[in-house]
């Protein structure tokens, strides 16, 4: 009897063993999804087959009788051995359950599971009007967990014979979509159709234009449903079902472009990458090119080469940069070979893209971090654009880093991996020095255009003329000048809303979110305050919630305020704003198009404006508060600031006209700012490296952040102490070269009603780190109680 190991997307974290009924044995294997009975109720759940054994001796030490697999859900595997190997690595390295990792690697919404469904019995129906629980079921059966009544209430009524409970398999949330297509059989209708009527019109339409999708006839054929039925009835036409691919490009005109000629540096970069690809060998590259040096064109040429060899490629980009413009460039070059995968897609669109990739129809994938799991066959290249970007790290379990997995997958698949950036992470630079990555440099901007001149405006010398909007005179002058030349400007401030917080002039109180230790941000447009961490909102308080005084003052500048003050000070300019608030749904596309089409002169925005955009007429970039992030309690604060400044500066002067960047700051001497001013990446690394080495931070050590969350603050603190004690114990008992920092209260002390305490585990050797983390599993999980322990390996921020 065959036996399989099944990993589950949620719930039990270990791989469970099931026997395989003989009739299923040849219809499944590793990579198939199966339904398996679970628990004493044998509720059926989706699981992933990760092991197949030919007999029961390999069942992982489980003693009892194995339950049989209930059903095979797929006709072909949904993940390959290659992807499974990657998932196992992630489960190991990031200390996440294997099933959860596999779930992340697959499109959403495919899972099915039994859920408990309640319906009324005859007896229940007769008393339904006098019982709140029963009356909810009058319109038919309902899933028990959607009822307002508690489970025990429902169970009791079931025992009384008022309700029947049974399990029913939920439908998958997404599945392929089909449409009916009508085509001609070639058989002429026996009796001639009445000329001019619906059926005759339809017949001649199909004769002229070929098979039609039935729903499209609605507007062209009178009474189209009847016409279709009639044509089929007389034998002239037939209906078949055809899959429709929900297309994210639906309304976007396909463009074609011709590859430009590369300069010598670009040519060289493409050549070395293609060489590695031709040899089907893993090699890691760091493509370090100043902004506007044509990195994307290098990717495009390398991909073109790979696609010519009938191999596939994956391009990972930060979510925020995955605009229609960027993916449009790939589509313009490679047409229907391109699939996109990002959070803006509906589940249906994503499933269809994923299936097209799996079937080999779309060998080129452009997507956000989870696209590293894309089922591309015969990978010839993986590109990670803006590799330094912290959004490649997933903020929830499994907390993987897309860039590191790209390297891992390339290693496993034997293909080159290209990490591109103007401001590489210190980790990648260190990997160059260790010989793990080969550095390829693009030192020249396209067309030998100079880098923009960066000027620092010391806000102590030039106090903002409008303090509430952080706008100094030099910047305002430059803006006016730019607009008068019919050129465009970008103003960057990494803070949404109108005012960052309210301050009571009487008692000094700053209204905070009830669930988070975060001050509430004022949004003028909606006259509301909101918490940027949990989304809590309320109307603008008229009085101080503490002292009831009416002296609430707005403090701190956000993009909304900058937009409004600019509109007032520069009435001749058309000012728009781009941040999370103004870019809901398709609005991002509209703003980008308007800016590109010069229907906007000045674009005020958050981080969103810094990434990858290419606007020819932008000649001025203003940074309102450059040191904004330098004071954060995070060892990467300087690195972030340098990267952000360099990226945003790179938006200026990308085409014919020279660019100018004005950086406002109260701290003009900080080395991050100075290095960005001089465009001196090398100097920044040298200084930053020295600091990291001295303090023992990555890349000179490996870190894991252990965070304990609990609604009960004392419990969280107590558990963090226990985690620290356990780790200390493990370290000394095994003589590990690792040590811990903390426990300490997290910099963001409370989020969504949970108090957070943390312990930092640090080691020179990754293996010691992992040994300690493995041993941590001996921590009695029961002692955690209602507290939750989060393990974040290689954290990108320590907040």
Partner DNA sequence: AGCACGCCGACT
Partner DNA sequence: GTCGGCGTGCTC
Among 14, 346, 593, 767, interactor with DNA by CB under 7 A: 14
Cis, peptide link before residue 743, omega less than 30° from 0: yes
Look at residue 760 and give its three-state secondary structure.
strand
When asked if residue 778 is in the footprint of DNA (CB under 7 A), the reply is: no
User: In 288-324, which positions are buried (b, 16+ CB within 10 angstroms) versus exposed (e)?
Assistant: bbbbbbbbbbbbbbbbbbbbeeebbbbbbbbbbbbbb
- Looking at the Cβ atoms of 594 and 712, the one nearer to DNA is 712
Residues contacting residue 192 through CB under 8 Å, at least 6 positions apart: none
Q: Is 396 exposed, middle or buried (0-12, 13-18, 19+ CB in 10 A)?
A: exposed
**Contact of 221 with 201, CB cutoff 8 Å:** yes
Please tell me the distance from the alpha carbon of residue 3 to that of residue 67, in angstroms, as a whole number. Answer: 10
When asked if residue 55 is in the footprint of DNA (CB under 7 A), the reply is: no
Among 21, 25, 43, 441, interactor with DNA by CB under 7 A: 43
- Looking at the Cβ atoms of 126 and 145, the one nearer to DNA is 145
When asked if residue 671 is in the footprint of DNA (CB under 7 A), the reply is: no
Q: What's the closest the beta carbon of residue 114 comes to DNA, in angstroms?
A: 7
- Looking at the Cβ atoms of 41 and 281, the one nearer to DNA is 41
Segment lying near DNA (by CB under 7 A), choices 55-63, 507-515, 562-570, 611-619? 55-63
Count of positions on this chain that bind DNA (CB under 7 A): 34
62-91 footprint of DNA as x/- string (CB under 7 A):
x-x-xx------------------------
When asked if residue 734 is in the footprint of DNA (CB under 7 A), the reply is: no
- Looking at the Cβ atoms of 64 and 186, the one nearer to DNA is 64
When asked if residue 156 is in the footprint of DNA (CB under 7 A), the reply is: yes
Distances (CA, A) of 757 to 512, 711, 723, 771, 774: 20, 11, 10, 22, 20
Q: Which of residues 285-344 bind DNA (CB under 7 A)?
A: none
When asked if residue 465 is in the footprint of DNA (CB under 7 A), the reply is: no
**Contact of 331 with 338, CB cutoff 8 Å:** yes
Among 27, 56, 60, 547, interactor with DNA by CB under 7 A: 60
Cis, peptide link before residue 30, omega less than 30° from 0: no
Q: Which of residues 103-132 bind DNA (CB under 7 A)?
A: 113-116
When asked if residue 160 is in the footprint of DNA (CB under 7 A), the reply is: no
Segment lying near DNA (by CB under 7 A), choices 4-12, 49-57, 474-482, 708-716? 4-12
Segment lying near DNA (by CB under 7 A), choices 9-17, 82-90, 305-313, 557-565? 9-17
Positive or negative: CA dihedral 551, 556, 558, 563: positive
Instruction: Tokens 């060489």: give the residue.
Output: 275
Q: Which two tokens stand for residue 408?
A: 């891992």
Distance separating the N- and C-terminal Cα atoms of the chain: 51
- Looking at the Cβ atoms of 160 and 185, the one nearer to DNA is 160
- Looking at the Cβ atoms of 153 and 183, the one nearer to DNA is 153
Segment lying near DNA (by CB under 7 A), choices 234-242, 468-476, 562-570, 779-787? 779-787
Q: What's the closest the beta carbon of residue 531 comes to DNA, in angstroms?
A: 23
Q: What's the closest the beta carbon of residue 159 comes to DNA, in angstroms?
A: 9
Please tell me the distance from the alpha carbon of residue 69 to that of residue 149, in angstroms, as a whole number. Answer: 33
Q: What's the closest the beta carbon of residue 9 comes to DNA, in angstroms?
A: 9
Look at residue 212 and give its three-state secondary structure.
strand
Please tell me the distance from the alpha carbon of residue 324 to that of residue 326, in angstroms, as a whole number. Answer: 6
Among 25, 144, 446, 540, interactor with DNA by CB under 7 A: 144
Q: Which long-range contacts (CB under 8 A, 24 or more apart) does 395-399 make?
A: 397/94, 397/96, 397/100, 397/790, 398/90, 398/91, 398/94, 398/96, 398/100, 398/101, 398/104, 399/94, 399/96, 399/791, 399/792, 399/793, 399/795
Q: What's the closest the beta carbon of residue 748 comes to DNA, in angstroms?
A: 22
Helices (H) and strands (E) in the chain, counts: 23, 33
Q: What's the closest the beta carbon of residue 40 comes to DNA, in angstroms?
A: 5
Computed over its alpha carbons, how large is the radius of gyration of the chain? Answer: 30
Please tell me the distance from the alpha carbon of residue 56 to that of residue 34, in angstroms, as a whole number. Answer: 19
Among 18, 492, 498, 501, interactor with DNA by CB under 7 A: 18
- Looking at the Cβ atoms of 13 and 550, the one nearer to DNA is 13
When asked if residue 21 is in the footprint of DNA (CB under 7 A), the reply is: no
Segment lying near DNA (by CB under 7 A), choices 151-159, 325-333, 380-388, 517-525? 151-159
Residues that bind DNA (CB under 7 A): 10-12, 14, 16-18, 37-41, 43, 59-60, 62, 64, 66-67, 113-116, 144-145, 150-153, 155-156, 782, 785-786
């Amino acid at each position: 009897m065959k036996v399989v190991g099944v990993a589950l997307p949620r719930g039990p974290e270990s791989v469970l063993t099931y026997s395989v009924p003989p009739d299923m044995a040849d219809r499944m294997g590793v990579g198939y999804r199966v339904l398996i009975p679970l628990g004493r109720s044998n509720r059926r759940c989706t699981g992933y087959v990760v092991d197949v054994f030919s007999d029961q001796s390999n069942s992982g030490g489980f003693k009892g009788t194995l339950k049989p697999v209930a059903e095979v859900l797929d006709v072909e595997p949904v993940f390959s051995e290659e992807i499974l190997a990657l998932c196992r690595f992630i489960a190991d390295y990031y200390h996440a359950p294997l099933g959860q990792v596999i779930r992340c690697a697959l499109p959403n919404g495919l899972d099915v599971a039994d859920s408990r469904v309640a319906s009324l019995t005859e007896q229940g129906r007769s008393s339904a009007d006098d019982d709140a629980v029963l009356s909810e079921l009058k319109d038919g059966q309902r899933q028990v967990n959607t009822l307002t009544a508690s489970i025990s209430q429902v169970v009791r009524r079931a025992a009384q014979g008022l309700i029947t409970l049974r399990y029913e398999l939920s439908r998958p949330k997404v599945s392929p979509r089909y449409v009916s297509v009508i085509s001609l059989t070639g058989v002429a209708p026996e009796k001639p159709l009445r000329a001019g009527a619906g059926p005759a019109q339809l017949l001649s339409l199909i004769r002229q234009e070929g098979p039609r999708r039935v729903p499209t006839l609605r507007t062209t054929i009178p009474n189209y449903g009847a016409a279709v039925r009639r044509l089929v009835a007389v034998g002239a036409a037939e209906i078949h079902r055809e899959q429709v691919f929900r297309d994210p490009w639906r309304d976007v005109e396909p463009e074609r472009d011709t590859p430009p000629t590369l300069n010598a540096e670009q040519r060289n970069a493409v050549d070395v990458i293609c060489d590695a690809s031709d040899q089907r060998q893993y090699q890691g590259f760091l493509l370090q090119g100043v902004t506007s040096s044509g990195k994307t064109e290098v990717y495009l040429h390398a991909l073109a080469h790979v696609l010519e060899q009938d191999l596939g490629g994956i391009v990972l980009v930060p979510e925020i940069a995955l605009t229609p413009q960027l993916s449009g460039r790939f589509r313009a070059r490679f047409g229907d070979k391109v699939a996109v995968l990002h959070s803006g897609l509906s589940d249906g669109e994503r499933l269809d893209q994923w299936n097209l990739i799996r079937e080999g129809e779309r060998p080129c994938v452009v997507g956000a971090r989870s696209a590293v799991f894309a089922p591309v066959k015969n990978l010839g290249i993986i590109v990670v654009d803006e590799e330094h970007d912290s959004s490649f790290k997933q903020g929830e379990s499994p907390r993987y880093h897309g860039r590191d997995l790209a390297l891992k997958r390339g290693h496993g698949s034997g293909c080159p991996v290209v990490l591109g950036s103007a401001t590489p992470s210190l980790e990648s630079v260190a990997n160059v020095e260790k010989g793990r990555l080969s550095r390829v440099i693009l030192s020249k901007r396209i067309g030998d255009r100079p880098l923009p001149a960066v000027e620092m405006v010391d806000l102590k010398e030039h106090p903002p003329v409008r303090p509430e909007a952080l706008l100094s005179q030099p910047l305002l002058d430059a803006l006016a000048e730019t607009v008068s030349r019919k050129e465009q400007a970008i103003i960057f401030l990494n803070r949404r809303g109108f005012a960052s917080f309210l301050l009571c002039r009487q008692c000094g109180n700053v209204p905070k979110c009830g669930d988070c230790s975060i001050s509430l941000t004022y949004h003028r447009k909606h006259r509301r305050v909101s918490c940027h961490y949990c989304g809590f909102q309320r109307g603008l308080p008229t009085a101080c919630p503490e002292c009831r005084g009416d002296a609430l003052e707005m403090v701190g500048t956000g993009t909304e305020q900058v937009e409004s003050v600019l509109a007032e000070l520069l009435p001749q300019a058309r000012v728009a704003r781009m941040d999370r608030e103004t870019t809901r749904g398709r609005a991002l596309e509209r703003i980008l198009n308007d800016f590109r089409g010069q229907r906007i002169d000045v674009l005020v925005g958050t981080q969103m404006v810094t990434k990858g955009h290419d606007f020819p007429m932008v000649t001025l970039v203003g940074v309102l508060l450059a040191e904004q992030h330098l004071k954060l309690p995070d060892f990467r604060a300087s690195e972030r600031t340098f990267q952000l400044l360099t990226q945003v500066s790179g938006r200026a002067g990308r085409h014919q006209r020279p660019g100018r960047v004005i950086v406002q700051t109260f701290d003009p001497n900080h080395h991050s700012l100075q290095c960005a001013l001089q465009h001196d990446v090398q100097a920044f690394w040298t200084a930053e490296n020295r600091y990291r080495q001295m303090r023992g931070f990555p890349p000179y050590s490996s870190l894991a952040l252990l965070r304990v969350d609990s609604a009960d603050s004392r419990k969280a603190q107590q558990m963090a102490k226990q985690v620290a004690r356990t780790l200390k114990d493990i370290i000394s008992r095994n003589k590990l070269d690792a040590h811990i920092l903390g426990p300490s209260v997290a910099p963001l002390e409370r989020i969504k009603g949970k108090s957070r305490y943390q312990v930092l585990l640090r080691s020179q050797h990754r293996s010691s780190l992992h040994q300690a983390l493995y041993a941590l599993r001996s921590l009695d999980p029961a002692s955690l109680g209602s507290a939750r322990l989060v393990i974040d390996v290689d954290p990108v921020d320590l907040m």
